[in-house]
Amino acid sequence: MDLPALILSSDLARLGCDSRALARKAEAGELRRIRQGVYVRAEAWESLQHWERYPLLIHAAASTLRSRTVFCWQSAAALSHIPVLGTRHPVHACTADAGGGRSRAGVQRHFVDPESLQIEEHQGLLVTARVRTVLDLAAFGSFEQAVTAVDHVLRPARNGPPVLNLEVLGAGISGIYTAAAARRIVTALEFGDPASGSPGESVSRAMMHRLGFKAPVLQREIRDARGLVGFTDFEWPEEGLSGEFDGLVKYRDEAYLKGRTPSDVVIEEKSREDRIRATGRRVIRWTWSELASPEKFAAFLEAKGVPRIRYGKGQPLRGST
C-alpha cells in the first residue's frame, strides 16, 4: 500500500511559513507527530496496521538525517518486505564508525565494514542487501524472528524477488559475524523450510521446536472421497491431528479474498475443516493470541494433545543460545 505523505516542519520553514502551526494542529488532533519535525494526518496514521507504521517511521527518520543513510536489521527487513516480528522497533542504520551502537536522533547505529556491505534500494531508501538483512536478523534477533526471515526468503512468492537458497545464505556468514552469532545463523538456516506458508506458521513451528514439541509435517495433502480437501498447515499423522494457524489477515487481504467477502471465506473454511474432521482427524486452530508467549503456546498445545518430546522445568529452550 502507499504510505501517507509526510509533513515536515522544515519544508514550511523554508517557505517562510510558521512551522508552529503543525504543532497546534497536532494538539488539536488533526495531525500526529511521529518524529521531531515530522507529522502525518492523524486519520491516515490511525488507519495503519502496526506493521505499516514502522516503514513510515523509517521514512520519517530518513527525511531528517543530514546524509543519505543505509538502513539495516529490522528497518532493512521492513523496507524489503521481509516479515518483522514485534511492534516496537527503533530505526536501525549502518555506520562505518567502529564505535557503533550509539543512538542519535532516534536512530540506532550499527558498525558495518564498508568493504563487506552490499546495498539495495527499496521504497526510495538504501538498505542492506537481502542476504545480509536475513543473516543480521538471524544473528541478532530471536530464534522465531530468524526462522521467519529464513522461511520467507526460501519460499517462492508470486511477483516477488528471486528465491534465496541455503548455499547463498551460508556463504554470507564468513568474516562478518562472531562465532556465537554464526552458530545462531546456522541453527536458523538448518531449521528453515520453504513449506512454511506464513510468518505465523514460521513462528509457531519455531516455538514448537524450542518448547520441545514433536515436529509436525508441513503442508500435508488431505483427500477424501470427493477428492482434494486441501493442505493443512501442520500435521501429526501418528496422532491423527491437524493444526491450522489463523492469522486473520486472509479476511482482509484482497489477494486472498479474490472477490469473496470475509463471510464467504469463513463459510469455506468451515466446510473445509468439516471435511478434514470427517477423515478421522482432529483439527486445532490458533491465532497470534496463543503465540503471545512460549508459556501460553505450550499450555495450548498440551491441552490440545500435541505430543511433547522433552520435559523438565528449568531447561533452556532450544534455539535460545
- The structural domain count of the chain equals 3
Mean pLDDT of 298-303: 97
C-alpha cell belonging to residue 220: 500435508
Kindly report the average pLDDT of the chain as a whole number. 88
Do the domain assignments include residue 113?
yes
Q: Point out which residues pair with 92 in neighbouring strands.
A: 108
Identify the pLDDT of residue 251: 47
Domain range for residue 103?
Answer: 67-191
What pLDDT digit, counting tens, does each position of 198-234 carry?
A: 999 999 999 999 999 999 999 998 988 898 888 999 9
Choosing from 126, 158, 191, the residue where a domain stops is 191
Least confident of 56-60, 161-165, 245-249: 245-249
Do the domain assignments include residue 308?
no
- What does 161-204 look like in DSSP terms, one character per residue? PPPP-HHHHHHTTTTTS-HHHHHHHHHHHHH--TT--SHHHHHH
Same domain, 220 and 243: yes
Same domain, 87 and 185: yes
CATH number, domain at 213?
3.40.960.10
Do the domain assignments include residue 260?
yes
Do the domain assignments include residue 53?
no
pTM of the predicted model over 0.75: yes
Do the domain assignments include residue 266?
yes
Identify the pLDDT of residue 129: 97
Provide the 3-class DSSP secondary structure of residue 155: coil
Please tell me the distance from the alpha carbon of residue 144 to that of residue 266, in angstroms, as a whole number.
28
Same domain, 153 and 234: no
| Vertex 204 angle, CA 199 and 207, to 5° | 120
Same domain, 186 and 207: no
Choosing from 131, 165, 191, the residue where a domain stops is 191
Provide the 3-class DSSP secondary structure of residue 24: helix
Choosing from 162, 191, 220, the residue where a domain stops is 191
For residue 257, name the pLDDT band (cuts at 50, 70, 90): very low
C-alpha cell belonging to residue 67: 546524509
Residue 310 identity = R
Identify the pLDDT of residue 173: 96
Same domain, 182 and 264: no
Least confident of 1-5, 30-34, 48-52, 231-235: 1-5
Same domain, 25 and 129: no
Please tell me the distance from the alpha carbon of residue 277 to that of residue 274, in angstroms, as a whole number.
5
